[in-house]
Every structure is written in structure tokens, then in C-alpha cells.
Structure 1
Amino acid sequence: MGSHHFPARTVLFERERNGVTYRVPALLYIPRWATLLAFAEERLSADDAHANLLVLRRGIFYHNYVEWEDMRAVETAVLPGHRSMNPCPIYDEFTGQLFLFFIAVFGKTTESYQIITGRNMARLCYVTSSDQGRNWSNVTDLTLQVIGESIKEWATFALGPGHGIQLKSGRLLVPAYTYYIDCRECFGKLCRTTSRAFAFHSDDHGQKWKLGELIPNLPSVECQLVSVDEEDGNNVLYCNARSSLGFRVQAMSSDEGIVFQPGQLVEKLVETPNGCHGSVIGFPAPLGFYTRLYTKINVPRDLNNYKELANVLKKQKKMYYIEQLKKYSDYSHQHQSRIDSGLYNKHRGEILSRKEVCNSSDQLPSTPESSTSVMLDGIQIQTKSLYRTNQQFQTPTWVLYSHPTSALSRVNLGVYLSPYPRDADSWTGPWVIYEGPSAYSDLAYMELPSKGIGADASPPVIAFACLYENGLVSPYEQISFSIFTLYEVIQSLPPNQPVSHQGQKKQKMKWDCVAS
């Protein structure tokens, strides 16, 4: 099951003696204000039909701890006669406006009743805050304006749950899913539906919202989104969704969430029976190791191939870097995958230049060269040219995913890591961060403050926050909060060659030299 190391845990919401239960966590981090917002549904019991209000705890992050305020209800996030469910917060970095999307469901109408009868009882709503969640606007009901006549084709719908995202273009995206009505009277049944994930989007900072198209093929339910930058300058929107097919479903969009390509099953991400909500978060790949490598060894400006770099390392007795090059050489050739730091681009079969690794805008000559083998103190390193053709390079996006790790029940919450989410086989993990009953979760990306001052300061530490359901007997006893670093994730991934669910041996990717 991997390492026995578990991150520290703080309980933010806990089931009360009178049966009041807190479910469906949603987490948002606002770096500008070092503020964490932890949302949940307050229910009179664990039953979906007993959902009531949305509640919030605000946390302020101080260097090495979070100071949490008391829980309070988001009192304006209600429609009369409806229960508020599926919190989905999203922050507009351009305007400082915070949106809390949710669905309002009439009375105690269950989702299953809506699916069977085809009678939708859900509304699309949001409230806003301009002071990081201290005060909230009155509720806005977008159902008719945004969904319109399409609502007649939906038995029901819901959001996320969990965080929405904003793209570099400014577009706001709210993940969602619907049960699309295929037939209202089919073989004696009142209604036949298929679940489909999609996204709502806004290009004017939330003044107007539009409806995207549904993932076209595989059934997909609760979902989350990541904007993925790729090394060659491309960007895709990545959707990871709950499924009843035994594995997660993922789908890509090349137009920022309007149309999704056909989904595919991710066999490395096993679902629980009937599926369970999971979370995904994107973050820039840690290129710091290679930036430091090239600056610390004083590489000559006219250096033009990997063999010369290796010789420089040897002359300067930089054995540590030689060992790391060896590890990454093994990774790229044995696993036929991409060097996670971005130094080696497997998609084009070339090694990136020193200046490209440092994100320089200078152009370098193209000097293609066939693979060679370099011997360094008895270590054989497979190499290619340091230079490649002049193409745009950007720091690639890695993705972290959280979900119960068992295929039998909702237990043992774990995290998985992918340096190339377009490839469904690129996932590594899990590292179990909570051992025991656990269910829904939501992730946030953070950068912990660097150490040192000025030129001696170290880079910020890549870290993650996770808000998740957990308990000793049931997954719905508590909602807990943990922070852990990328270094912890990498060090805690399972040992080499674990046996997969299909009995095939899979090798663990080597991450040893990634900066923490």
C-alpha cells in the first residue's frame, strides 16, 4: 500500500450527537490573501435527501500552520423550499470576485427519483463575495438563463462538487454533469438516462454564463477540471470524472471546455462500486532542479551536446548531478516516458536546451544528433543532443488526483501523480494519506514560503491541501484537512513493480531528484 507515512490531519467538520452530518467537501486557496476556504453540506443525516445548508470555515495560512475561524452557514446560498447541495467555489483572479456555485433541489426530492421519472427538481445557483468569504451576496438563479430549454432533456443535473478553475484567458469554468434523457418511456420504465459530464463557462468575469457540450461517449458523473500546459506550447482542458464502469473517465477539450473529445477509461485509477467523487489539481512541473544544475556548474555558452555537459560535470566533480542524470536517463529509456522535469521531451525524442530549461527567450541553433552513450565513472548514460529545433517551450503541467484506493469500498484515501495526464497510462500511485473509511475529497495547490533571503533564498516549496471525508466506522463521520508537499508525495509513492489490479507488474516512475 506504499509508505506508512501519513500527513498531519485537522478535523474541520464533525458529525454531531443529534445526527447532523457534514458531507461533500469543497476547498479553495486564494494565494493573494493566503486564505483557505473549506465548504461542506450540512445535512440532518448522512442521507442526500436530508441536505440543508452550505457551511464554511475560513483559514489563514501562516508559514507553517493554518488558523481556522469557527464554522458558519452561508446564509444567502439558499432558495426558499429547496435544499442547497454540491458547493463549487471559483475565484476570479482578475477581479477578486469569489463565486460559490451550488444546486438547489426542491424539498426532499432525491436524485434517484428525478432520474427514474425524468422530472428535474434542481436549480443552478450562485452567491458571490468580494472579501474572501466574509460576506456574501444574495442568491442568483441561473437555471432559465443558462440551461434554458435544455432542462427538458435533463432528468437532473449537479455541479462538481469541489473547486472550479480559471484559465489564463480569464475564462471561468464550473464542472458539472447531467442525466440526459435518452427515452422517456422505454421497455416499461418511465425514463432511461445516460450520465454526461460537461462544464459551464463565462468569458466576462461571471456576468454571463454559457453551457458547454456533454462528453459524447462514456457515462461520466461528478467531475473536476485542470488546464494542462504541454511542453510544445499546446494547452488542453483535462476532465477527470466519476464512472460506474470500474475506472475513472478522462476527456480532453482543445477549445477551453466548449466541446470535449470522446472520453477514455483510465485503468490505473480504479473506481469503487458505483463510483466515488475524486479531485484533480494541476501545478507547474518542478523544473528547479535543472535550472540549478545548469547555473551551478557554470556550463560554457557554446556547449552543444550532452557528452560535453557530462564531461563538464566530471571535471568539476559534480558526482551528485552525474547520478541524477543517470537516474533520469534510466527513467526515459526503461519506461519509455517523458523526463518529468521537462529536460527530455519524449514526444519529439529530444533533450531540451539549457536556455529552454531556464525559460530563456533566446533562440538557439538546431543541431540534431543521433543518440550516443556516455561513460562517466563507470556509469553509462544514454544521451541525445542538448539542442532541438526552435519550437515554443513552456513549463508542463503535472496533475495530482485524490480518491479512495480500494475497488471494493470507500476506504484508504490516496493520491496519484501524473506528469502527462493526456496519457491515461502515466499515473503513478497511490500514496495512501488516510487509512480507513474515506470518500469525497477536494485538492488545492499551494506554494509554501521559501527559506533564506535574497539571492540565498530557496524556491517556494510545491505543496497541496486536501479536504476529505473520513471516519473510523463510516466515511461520513468527519471532514479533515491535511497539507503535504510534492516531495512527500514522490517519496511516499509505492515501491518498484507493484502488482496492478490486472495482475500485471508495473514499474514505479523514478522521481528521486525532484526539488522539494
Structure 2
Amino acid sequence: MGSQYFPARSVLFQKESSGVTFRVPALIYLPHCSRFLAFCEERLTPADNQAHLLVMRKGTFQKNYVEWKDMQVLSTAQLLGHRSMNPCPVYDEFTNTVFLFFIAVLGHTSESYQLITGKNVTRLCFVSSNDQGDTWSPVTDLTKMVLGDNIKDWATFAVGPGHGTQLKSGRLIIPAYAYHIDCRNCFGRKCKTSAHSFCFYSDTHGKVWHFGEALSAPESVECQMVSVDEEDGVNVLYCNARSTSGCRVQAISFNNGAVFHDGQLVQKLVEPRNGCHGSVIGFPAPFFQLGQSQHLLRQLMSIATPQADSICLGSKSPKNFLQSTWVIYTHPTCSNSRRDLGVYLSLLPRDPDSWSAPWIIYDGPSAYSDLAYIELMSVDGSGVPVFACLFENGTRTAYEEISFSIFSLYELIHHLPHNNQRRRDLVKRKMWKCCSVS
């Protein structure tokens, strides 16, 4: 469904011959020290109930490459007798602190067992680092303090996975979802639940945490959130969530995650059977010199969205211009299996029809991913939007490796599918190939 150009990738985590598998990537970039922190779960086998510990690799962003250190186990990120899952990091720029949230699940208890019985054995935990991930604090279990008696109404819950975000106000946002118990004993049968996305948040730089109201409809699970500035001065918190409806769910909050409006189905962002985690990240709409480059960008933007002509791109020295937020999204592009990881662009993320067709950055089995944004400086002093993606991939299954790639906004725009008949024919053939795979 896109160009045959793929960005270079480095394999950071690889399945071992013993069966040990690395799953559920999470990525964060620390701009003040040009460092990436890449997290994932170490599992004894690919199965969810065989998750074990959280591991990490640190990478230093050099001029044109990333130098990675060896993998290390996050030994403090665990509770005794529990397995650690769903790494969800967030960076507090005000205090130079990295918080790594995760869930701790008792023994090998599966999610399905918790859903059937309504017996929640999941804990909300975090560790933190004040030295860019070199050392980590002891674990903090927030379950009782933050959830209290509400935990009785949830069959289970989780954070993320993937990165959280910090708002301009300093509020820290940790995306999450919970399976609410709708009927605990339905005629003697299994517990009936419904899944809803929401967020944990802190206005005290991680000292005190709260959780907001969940999306009421449609059902939504694993999610990520982006603070979006719009050209009219409105700021919204945008949520993009996994669903089993055949496409993604998105929702908007006007009060920084305390309450979300009802979600919308995003038909352009397809889900495979049972859905799959995806990643979103926002970045400031770039400024361009007026003239030929502006004209070229508008031409390229028409590929991304039909509303491009109405979007103000700005100039290098804008006057009375509010820099809006654009959003990119990564997710498998096949509608019946986890494969062919794509990158989508939206200039108007509140509009579910604004998403571009995807640029395929990995052709083959692929699943969970996480994005990070890096602003590089060009020779003329202007910012160059660059993105990093950490994603699951393989040749036979999607869980053989976790790879890392970097690409620029200009590469993304250049490789989005063009709106002509030849490209549409290629898209059709690619869709046929994708959806023919069993």
C-alpha cells in the first residue's frame, strides 16, 4: 500500500533459541542528552502469560546514526511473585525525570481468566530515573493509593503500552484502559465486561496521580494520546485506541484527559482481526520559506489529505500565526493479519477522514510499535522533523525481532502513495497480496 523504499533498521531485541521472546516495545527520546531509551518485555515464550521482566537498551543519537549499548534488565521494575508487562515511559522536562509505568500481574494469571472471573490480580506500578536511565528507583505500587475501591469494578486493566506524554502545563499523561465489570454473575456464567480507554495524570510532577473518566463508547483498549494545538487556538488531548470493530477509535478531551467525549470510528485506519496496538505522536507543523518549496510542499500535502489547500503551513517568520500540531500514526496495514507496518499522516487529527494512505516501512509480519519525535536543526537554523519507530517484526511471525528505524517528515511525505491511477492499481495489488495471506 505504499512505496517500496524502506528506511534502514537496526535489530535491538531478537528472539533467542531457548524460546525467550521480546515483545511490546516502548520508546522515548530525551532531547537534552540526545538519548533514546528503548524498552520491552522479556518473555519466556511468546505467550502473554509467560511475560517475565522488563528490559532496556540505551542509544545515543550521533550526527547520522544511533550508538546502542547492550541490553540490561530493569531489576527494580517488578513486584515479588508478579510478572512485569506493558512498559509505558514518560519524560518530565521540568524535573528531568523519566517515569516508567508498567503493570504487575500475579504469577501466570492470564487476562482471559481475569475477564471470565472478574478477579483482578493486576497492580499499577512505576520506577523512575533522574539520570537519563542509568539508574532506577525502587518500585512504587500505586494501586491502592490511586485506584482504591474502584479496582473492584475492573476485571483487569493496563497502561499504554508505549510512551506517555507531557502537556505544556506540566501535566503528565499515562494512557490506559480497563475492562469494566458490567455484570459479575450473568445467570451463573462468566463475568461480562466492556473495555474503555482513559488516562492516569499527575499535575505534581509524579508525586500524586489521578485517573480520568473513560471513553464511554465505542469499546476501546490499548491507546496512546497526543496534545494537539489547532489553528484557532483550541488545544485538545487526542486519543487513538485499538478496537475490535475493524478500524481504530479516536476521541477528544477538552480538559486534558479528565473527561473524553464519545469516540469515533476511524474507517481509514484499519484493524486486523482482534485489533493491534498502534502508536501516535504529534509535532509542530513545520515552517517553510515562501516560494518554490512552499508550492512543492502543498503539492505533496495534497497526497496526504484533500483539505491540504485550507491548511496554513506558515513561513519562516510567521506573523499572528499559531503553529498547529500534525500527527503521525504507525500500525499494521493489513485488515486480516498483523503485517506490513505503515506510517500515516494527519494534518487535522480531530477529523477522522483526514488520515493519509500509509507509507509501508516494513513489508512482512509486524505488530506493536512505538514512535518518538526528534527535532533536528538544519544549516539555516530551522527545525527538521524526524521520527524514530521501535516495532515488532519478523519473516515468519511478527515476534522474532524488535527493530528500530529513523525517517524524516520529508521522507514520509515523499513516499506517501500518490493520487493517480498507476498508484491506485499498485495499492489494489498490494491489498490483494496482503489480505491473501492466511
Q: TM-score range by the shorter chain?
A: over 0.9
Q: Which amino acid aligns with 1:335?
A: P
CA contact (8 A) 1:178 1:197 kept: yes
For 2:269, give the aligned amino acid. L
Question: How many Å apart are 1:255 and its aligned residue?
Answer: 0.1
Structure 1 partner of 2:400 = 477
Name the CA distance, whole Å, in 2 between partners of 1:181 and 1:339: 45
Are 2:25 and 2:390, in contact at CA under 8 Å, matched by a contact in 1? Answer: yes
In structure 2, the CA distance between the partners of 1:413 and 1:321, relative to structure 1 (3 Å rule), is: closer
Q: Which residue of 1 aligns with 2:384?
A: 461
The CA distance in 2 between the partners of 1:321 and 1:128, in whole Å, is 44
Structure 1 residue aligned with 2:319: 360
Residue by residue over 1:437-494, the C-alpha shift from the partner in whole angstroms, topping out at 9 and shown as x without a partner, is 000000000123423xxxxx25232110000000000100000000000001001001
| Secondary structure, aligned partner of 1:4 | coil
Counterpart of 1:9 in structure 2 is: 9
Q: 1:331 to 1:437 in 2, by over 3 A?
A: closer
- 1:370 is aligned to none
User: How far does the alpha carbon of each residue in 1:78-117 deviate from its partner, in whole angstroms, 9 at most, with x for none?
Assistant: 1000000000000100000110000000000000100111
Deviations 1:209-250 (A, max 9, x none): 001101011100000000000011110000000000000000
1:414 aligns with 2:342: yes
Q: How big is the shift at 1:188?
A: 4.2
Shift of 1:187: 4.2
1:141/1:261 CA distance change after superposition, 3 Å: same
CA gap of 1:218–1:145, structure 2 versus 1, over 3 A, is: same
Paired residues in the alignment total 424
SS in 1 for 2:410: helix
Q: 1:303 maps to which residue? A: none
Q: With the length of structure 1 as denominator, give the TM-score of the two structures.
A: 0.79
For residues 278-427 of structure 1, the aligned pairs below 5 Å read 278-287=278-287, 289=288, 292-293=289-290, 320=292, 324=296, 327=299, 331=302, 335-337=306-308, 339-342=310-313, 358-360=317-319, 393-427=321-355
Give the aligned residue type for 1:489: L
- AA aligned opposite 2:189: K
Residue 435 (structure 1) aligns with: 363
Q: Which amino acid aligns with 1:487?
A: Y
Answer yes or no: is the 8 Å Cα contact 1:285–1:340 preserved in 2.
no
Computed over aligned residues only, the root mean square deviation of the Cα atoms, in angstroms, reads 2.1
Q: Is the 8 A contact 2:298 2:308 kept in 1?
A: no
Secondary structure of the residue that 2:357 maps to in structure 1? strand
Query: Deviation string for 1:353-380 (max 9, x for gaps)?
Result: x8xx73435xxxxxxxxxxxxxxxxxxx
CA distance in 2, matches of 1:92, 1:322: 35
**Against the structure 1 CA distance between its residues 321 and 428, is the aligned structure 2 distance closer, same or farther, given a 3 Å change threshold?**
closer
> Which whole-Å CA distance do the structure 2 matches of 1:88 and 1:397 have between them?
23
In structure 1, distance between residues paired with 2:295 and 2:91: 43
Contact 2:14–2:22 under 8 Å retained in 1: yes
Partner Cα separation in structure 1 for residue 73 and residue 294 of structure 2? 56
Q: 2:187 aligned with 1:264, yes or no?
A: no
SS in 2 for 1:87: strand
Which letter maps to 2:73?
Answer: A
Does residue 95 (structure 1) correspond to residue 95 (structure 2)? The answer is yes
Q: Which letter maps to 1:467?
A: L
Q: Is the 8 A contact 1:120 1:156 kept in 2?
A: yes
CA distance in 2, matches of 1:164, 1:63: 26
Tell me, what secondary structure is at the counterpart of 2:32? helix
Are 2:418 and 1:495 aligned? yes
Match of 1:300 in 2: none
2:313 counterpart SS class: coil
Q: Which amino acid aligns with 1:342?
A: L
CA separation in 2, counterparts of 1:171 and 1:43?
32
Matches within 5 A, 1:115-264: 115-264=115-264
1:358 maps to a residue whose letter is S
Matching residue's letter, 1:360: K
Q: Which amino acid aligns with 1:436?
A: G
* Contact 2:114/2:121 (<8 A) preserved: yes
Gaps of 5+ in 1: 294-317, 344-353, 362-392, 452-456, 504-516
Question: What is the identity, as a one-letter code, of the residue corresponding to 1:137?
Answer: S
Distance in 1, matches of 2:105 and 2:294, equals 60
Question: C-alpha distance in 2, partners of 1:201/1:210?
Answer: 5
Match of 2:375 in 1: 447
Aligned in 2, Cα 1:153/1:499: closer, same or farther, shift over 3 Å?
farther
Normalising by structure 2, report the TM-score: 0.93
Cα drift, residue 323 of structure 1: 5.2
Contact conserved, 1:231 with 1:342, CA < 8 A, in 2? no
Question: Counterpart of 1:61?
Answer: 61
**Deviation digits for residues 169-216 of structure 1 (CA, Å, limit 9, x no counterpart):** 000000000000000112442200000000000000000000110101
Residue pair 2:307, 2:354 contacting (<8 A) in 1 also: no
